[in-house]
Amino acid sequence: MTDLNQSITAFIGLGSNLASPAMQIKSAHEAIAALPSIRELAFSSLYHSAPMGPQDQPDYINAVMAIETALSPLALLNELQYIEQTHGRIRQGQRWGARTLDLDILIYGEQLIELPDLTIPHSGITERAFVLYPLFEIAPLLKIPGKGKLADLLTDCPLSGLKRLE
């Protein structure tokens, strides 16, 4: 069991647009929360958004989860990629293509990370309504490392059709 006494707060973005997206998000939420090295702090509402990139794909369902973990960023990434695989995610190299599940580490404490397989805060975080609005729902006072106050970032990020699901 990982020692959560030496833990860090991280935020994970969840997205899906294939194979019952809302169920994919709910199942992934349960899988992440069940990891022994993680304690769930908060989970946003589900949000409906148009796809980024190729428009010839179904719309997405997105959410954001706040966790406490003692896992390193790369160990957390490995756990999330395993959950993606168990949900039928196949990585084919197409950026922004349709997928059963996409799990991204958005923020990991105050850390700024630039590795070949991992960038934190997640690249593009400041332009993505489907990340910023659910993040604001669960952590309105959050400061995104190297980017600024979340509330300030929202003023420059239009909803772009994003809809909170009831």
Catalytic position from the list 99, 117, 128, 156 = 99
Q: Is 104 a catalytic residue?
A: yes
Q: Is 156 a catalytic residue?
A: no
Burial of 56 (0-12, 13-18, 19+ CB in 10 A): exposed
Q: Is 95 a catalytic residue?
A: no
Cα-atom radius of gyration of the chain, to the nearest Å? 15
Single-letter residue type at 133: Y
Please tell me whether the peptide bond between 145 and the residue prior to it is cis, using omega within 30 degrees of 0: no
The span from the CA of 119 to the CA of 114, in Å, is 5
Q: Which of 150, 126, 134 is nearest to 13 (CA)?
A: 134
Catalytic position from the list 95, 102, 117, 128 = 102
Catalytic position from the list 59, 104, 156, 164 = 104
Catalytic position from the list 3, 39, 56, 89 = 89
Q: Is 89 a catalytic residue?
A: yes
Q: Please report, for residues 26, 54, 123, 124, the alpha-carbon distance to residue 33 in angstroms, rounded to integers and kept in the order given.
A: 11, 31, 24, 25
Q: Which residues are catalytic?
A: 89, 99, 102, 104
